[in-house]
Every structure is written in structure tokens, then in C-alpha cells.
A and B are shown apart, each in its own frame.
Chain A
């Protein structure tokens, strides 16, 4: 068995994650934020490992 098998498993894991997620959460590109946060005037609101819960 080679790395071809394990690398394929990693991609399959991602595929399953996105497939499962798309079944439980909707996407709407018309509600997406501006392309760039810098200059958008909107406060940064993404989840980050350093941030305390807000």
C-alpha cells in the first residue's frame, strides 16, 4: 500500500465534510461580505484561535 491510498482518504474526508455540511447549512453568495475586509468598513468577525468567545 502506498501514499496514494492515504492521500485519497484525506481528500475523501474533506469531500465528506463538505457534503455533510452542505446538507445542514445553506450557502447564499448574495449575502457574502465584500471581497476584501480591508477598506470594507465592516468589523472583522471571523472565528480565530486567539479570540475569546464574543
Chain B
């Protein structure tokens, strides 16, 4: 028998006050110790975490909803956020050459295959790049276990990235300027139209909560672009954490064209508190944790009892998420969200291939013991 004890509202208010103070204190500490830009990037990361967890905005879940129930509302919200970012990012990229760069990456065999594998793996653990961070921060044990393996996989994928891209890749193709923006918006509208056409009756609307979340995410992503000079990303930071762990264990990374490159070698020696994606990743996990602490009963949910094969599948899926995201030049954030919103055509290929992979992943999930079989 469980006995629920109501907490006095006064102590709950004090607890929430402490949560706000903790968030402000973290940002201030990083700004003082590392520099104002880095404090601001942590604040943006916290914002991502607060919005994603607080308003329950995700990527893997809405794709699953479309595949299994033909409910497009979550994906429509994603497309709205991408369109809003594109409206600001395209002019910024055209006018501020060099200071601000897009998420441009080449389309290739490994890139397309990586996106397919990522789409499948993210449905197995029901957590994408940002989703794994958010879910880990709010205490989801599957994502918490997947996260370190995501980092290891990302490190390993980056280690051999050049070998994979040598299998065959096109030059980097981007949409730019007003015509590029127009094409991007038309393509987003076309995808939205297709989703609405395929939607089940009664699902052809986007809840207000998701519209607000999409607009807030777009504002934060634009902030990321203006402050960091690069779009929102997740996977690079996780790979950097994995690489730092490998170096600490005595690994020699001089044999990797990726990790031995001057920029990456420099970041390996520098603090994670000066790395853009590390800071936003730390912010996302912490932001989700703060939301879970803020909610009444947010952390009192019992942990699920899963079979051993589910935990083994989580480890493998975590490794695949990280490895494949490197080959695909990003995850749902770096490739899909930021790639499309800054004009990289690899973002569109990523979307198509990852969605195809997701169709496989939703069928693998019950087989692997992560949910009851239908």
C-alpha cells in the first residue's frame, strides 16, 4: 500500500524558487569562469531543455505517432519550427559570411545509410539526439543507459568518418538566398500537405502547446545561431565527451584524421565549458531535470521492469545512435532541424532516410522487449 503525503504549498514554492536560483547560478558561474558567450550558450541549452521537457515537444514520439496512428500533429510542429528558423537563418547566412555558418554537409552513401540506422535506433529507445538528453535528465532509465553509449558511438563514428565519406559523397549542396528560402518553405509546406493528406480523421490539427513549443524552440535555435555563429547541434559534443574519455584512458587519437585535425585536437585540450554543443547538451539535460523537479510528482514515477534483452538492445541502440549520427552528419537536430533550416540539402536526405529507418524501428521495439508485443 502506498500513502500519498501532500507537500505544503509553501515548501513547494520554496523548492521552485531554489530551482530558478540554481539555473541562474549555473549560468552566472559559467559566464564568470569561462566567459559571457559560454554562459549565454548554457542559458540557451537550459531553454531547450525547459521547452522540450516542459511542453513535451519531441522528435521520435511524433514520428512514431505518424507511423502507427497517422497522427501528424507533432511532425507538423517540427516543420513549423524549422520554417521559422529558416525565415531568419537564410538572410543571416547571406549577410554575415563567415561569422555565422549553416549546417552544411555532403550527401553520400554513408550519410544516407547512417540516417536510416539512426531513424531505426531512435525508435528502439524512443529517444533521438535531443530526446536522449531530455529523457536522461528527467530520469528515464533507458535514455540514461543509452546516453554514454551514444557518446562512445559518436566518438567512434567520428574516428573513422573520412573512411566512410571516401565511399562516395557529392559536393556540399546548399539552398541559399531568397530563392533558396522560397524552395525550402515550399518543400516544408509540401511535406506538411502530404502528412495532412495521409492523416487519420480527427488528427489534422496542431495543439496550442506544440505551436508554442515550436515557436520557442525556433527562437532558441536562432539565438544559438547568433551567439555561437553555428546552428543548434547535439552529436559533436557527445563525441567530444567520448574522445576526452578515450584520451583519459590512454588512447592515442593521432591516427584519426578527424580527431587529429587542428580544430578538433584543440577542442580536446580545451574545457567542455568552451565547446558550443557540449554547453547546450549540458543545458538540455539540466533543463529537463529542473522541469522534472518543478513538476509535482515529476520524479516519483517508478522505474520500468524490462527484460535483459531490452537493456542489451538499449546499449546497442545507443552505440548505433552515436555512430550513425556521425556518418549522417548530424542527428534529428544537427541534420534534420538545423540542416534544413539553414539550407543544407543533406537535411532533406536525412529526413527521408531516417523516416524510412523509423518505420523499421517501431517494429523492432516490441521484438526487443522495450514494449509489450501487440
Contacts of A31 in B (CB 8 A): 35
Q: How far is the CB of A20 from chain B (nearest CB, A)?
A: 7
Q: Is the interface of B mostly helix, strand, loop or mixed?
A: helix
Cβ A50 vs Cβ B104 within 8 A: yes
Cβ B228 vs Cβ A46 within 8 A: yes
- Contact among A14, A42, A48 with B99 in the assembled complex (CB-CB below 8 Å): A42
One of B10-18, B189-197, B297-305 contacting the partner: B297-305
- Does B229 reach chain A (CB closer than 8 Å)? yes
Q: Roughly how many angstroms separate A50 CA and B114 CA in the complex, as a whole number?
A: 13
Interface size bracket, B side? 35 or more
Contacts A11-B289, A37-B100 hold; do A47 and B36 have CB atoms under 8 A apart?
Answer: no
Cβ A44 vs Cβ B235 within 8 A: no
- Does B236 reach chain A (CB closer than 8 Å)? yes
One of B179-187, B206-214, B270-278, B355-363 contacting the partner: B270-278
Q: Roughly how many angstroms separate A36 CA and B225 CA in the complex, as a whole number?
A: 9
Cβ B137 vs Cβ A44 within 8 A: no
- Does B38 reach chain A (CB closer than 8 Å)? yes
Cβ B103 vs Cβ A50 within 8 A: yes
Q: Roughly how many angstroms separate A51 CA and B262 CA in the complex, as a whole number?
A: 13
Contacts A1-B303, A17-B272, A53-B263 hold; do A47 and B161 have CB atoms under 8 A apart?
Answer: no
Cβ A50 vs Cβ B346 within 8 A: yes
Cβ A37 vs Cβ B228 within 8 A: yes
Contacts of B346 in A (CB 8 A): 50
- Contact among B230, B289, B303 with A46 in the assembled complex (CB-CB below 8 Å): B230
B-contacting residues of A (Cβ < 8 Å)? 1-7, 9-11, 13-14, 17-18, 20-22, 24-27, 29, 31-54
Q: Which 4 A-B pairs have the closest CB atoms?
A: A32-B35, A37-B229, A3-B139, A44-B229
